[in-house]
A and B are shown apart, each in its own frame.
Chain A
Amino acid sequence: MSTLNIAGQAFQSRLFLGTGKFGSATQMEAAVLAAETEMVTVALRRVDLQQKQDPILSHLQHDHIHLLPNTSGARNAKEAILAAQLAREALQTNWLKLEIHPDPKYLLPDPVETLKAAEALAKMGFIILPYIHADPVLCKHLESAGVAAVMPLGSPIGSNKGLKTIDFLEIIIEQSKVPVIVDAGIGAPSDAAKAMELGADAVLVNTAIAIAGDPERMAAAFKDAVQAGRNAYEARLAPVAQVATASSPLTAFLD
């Protein structure tokens, strides 16, 4: 499996993890370690920056793990920019998962505000990974704005419905000059493997691991699936035959 590169940073693992929804911080840490992930998202709203020993952060203190703060809770570009600045100062990283959802019900990302925020944050030196709809045109706009990767959704966040947006993900992967990380909706290791087989550069998983019967074991299962999917992509999958090959070719009379 080849190394993933985002903004000059090399990652051996192509599985990113979200840290919410776990039954305890200990359980979350065990899953993070079992997944062998090097990148985890942390919601700014959940972290207590005034507290020295925040329960989430204190369980993520491993040298191989990079923190990717997210702006979940922001409803527009202005709030996201403020949150980004706070996160940069508090967590000492200019990496940012840009997440803007004005709709608290399905948490669907706002394309207009996200592009606006990405343009401003890029100028401020942030390494931006925006969470977006699987919209190929928006991806190109964001690319021009200077984002480090794009994170299109597979299906609504937390839905575990898999890759409902597959046709658009394929277009995004084909066109993108920055890494494509499929985020949201990945419900099973097979979904993650499928995304990797399509040529996604990485996947981000949270709910499917956090609420599994055994989160630690599920994290390991995702790790294997992501590796298998990526290896299959790099090995170049044999194409699925669209038509049968006749045993008596129709054009044989020409020979």
Chain B
Amino acid sequence: MDRYEWDQVQEQIYRKTEADVIRALQQERRSIDDFMALISPAAKPYLEQMAVQSQRLTQQRFGKTIQLYAPLYLSNECQNICTYCGFSMDNGIRRKTLSTHEMDAEANALKEMGFEHVLLVTGEANKAVGMLYFLQAIEQLKTQFAHISMEVQPLEEEGYRLLHQAGVQAILVYQETYHREVYKQYHPKGKKSNFDYRLDTPDRIGRAGIHKMGLGVLLGLEDWRTDSFFNALHIAYLQRTYWQSKYSVSFPRLRPAEGVIEPNFIMEDKDLLQLICAYRLWNPDLELSLSTREREHFRNHAIGLGITSMSAGSKTNPGGYTVDPQSLMQFETSDERPVSEIRALIQQAGYDPVWKDWDPVFT
């Protein structure tokens, strides 16, 4: 990654020509350079062709299926200041961390909806939600769910090893932005302000032998094209190094949240679809995930165009499903339809909603 300078990469992306795009579309195996062409403005007129290829490749690799998962927010305590996030330390809100009983109630609510894959989410607060809390939560939840993922603060390698042994299958850590200076502006305080520590996190996850890791950038902090190129470059390196791990990419577009800033860079629906298709064409085996941050209209149509997993009926606040629906949300969700409706939607599109695609026996 040291070989790539932000400004140079950005210039290269914007200088890609129609001929580069056509060449990329015609390849059977695509390089990172082809990915660059496919996310470039020059590829905009080729979106339909990209979508057709993306659909074919996704069906070939994943079948006509969409995996369903739900986030389970355990805590909104956080000692970081992230200027775009509702949980930011400087946001004067009521903080909440789920107790054992509350976690149980929330888990039951998710099980009743049919979920088998759960994503545990917290802010970064090592006292309220540290390793002991995590291990306890996993011990409690692994009897109920077939697949547990986590999206929490970056940990040391040993921490990931413990989580893996405890039964966690996937860890999600988003770099937010690969632009070092811009990262600093958005994360002025807390452990998260250390750009390099966060950047090295996937390596620690990989060394600890975690089955799957999720990467992504917060779309809207910087130029999405340049940031996504760096994200792809990161994945390419990780895939070669930790070849026994699976990789997934999420596409969080900056959403309104209490007391936070507006996005600097606007990413249109067309851009997002272009990015999803570019990832698929470049790397047919990546899991691509779309959350309820996205609007109904986009989610309705994104099924079948490259996405392999979706959340549904999500609450982004601790206790949001049943215990404390009024606690502070990390961000506002856009697609608030109940799970039953999302399931029907997937079926109408000719896809099979998959609740369970893992078994704890493999951990």
Contact = CB atoms under 8 A, between A and B. Distances in A.
A210 B361 contact: no
Contact of B285 (A23, A45, A82, A105): A105
Given A46-B354, A73-B358, A22 B244 contact: no
Contacts of B352: 22-25
B347 A24 contact: yes
A148 B273 CA distance: 48
B327 interface: no
A47 B356 CA distance: 7
Interface string A70-100: 0001110001001100100000000000000
Interface string A159-180: 1100000000000000000000
Given A23-B350, A105-B239, A210 B63 contact: yes
Interface string A188-232: 000000000000000000010011000000000000000000000
B88 interface: no
Contact of B63 (A22, A73, A86, A103): A22
A45 B243 contact: no
Interface in A102-125: 102-106
A158 B357 CA distance: 17
B59 interface: yes
Contacts of A25: 352
Contacts of A64: none
B63 to A, nearest CB: 2
A46 B350 contact: no
Contacts of A79: 361-362
B165 interface: no
B359 A104 contact: no
Contacts of A106: 285
A46 B361 contact: no
B91 to A, nearest CB: 39
Contacts of A48: 116, 146, 355-356
A21 B116 contact: no
A96 to B, nearest CB: 14
A20 interface: yes
B246 interface: yes
A158 B244 contact: no
Contacts of B359: 44-45, 73, 83, 86
Interface residues of B, number: 29
Interface string B280-314: 00000100000000000000000000000000000
Nearest to B359: A45
B134 interface: no
A73 B362 contact: yes
Nearest to B144: A50
B60 A211 contact: yes
A103 B240 CA distance: 11
A45 B355 contact: no
A86 B362 CA distance: 11
B356 A105 contact: no
B60 A23 contact: no
A45 B59 contact: no
B28 to A, nearest CB: 11
B64 A103 contact: no
Interface in B315-363: 347, 350-352, 354-359, 361-362
Given A74-B362, A104-B244, A104-B285, A45 B61 contact: no
Nearest to A107: B285
A29 to B, nearest CB: 12
A102 B244 contact: yes
Contacts of B351: 23
Contact of A103 (B244, B350, B358): B244
Contacts of B61: 158
Interface string A28-48: 000000000000000011111
Contacts of A210: 63-64
B361 A211 contact: no
B201 interface: no
A105 B243 contact: yes
Nearest to B243: A103
Nearest to A28: B352
B285 A160 contact: no
A99 B351 CA distance: 26
A205 to B, nearest CB: 13
Contacts of A82: 361-362
A45 B64 contact: no
B154 to A, nearest CB: 23
Contacts of A73: 358-359, 362
B171 to A, nearest CB: 15
B357 A21 contact: no
6 contacts: A23-B65, A46-B356, A79-B362, A104-B246, A160-B60, A211-B60
Which 4 pairs of residues, A with B, have the shortest CB-CB distance? A21-B63, A23-B64, A104-B246, A211-B59
Given A44-B361, A46-B357, 6 more contacts: A23-B64, A23-B352, A73-B359, A104-B246, A104-B285, A210-B64
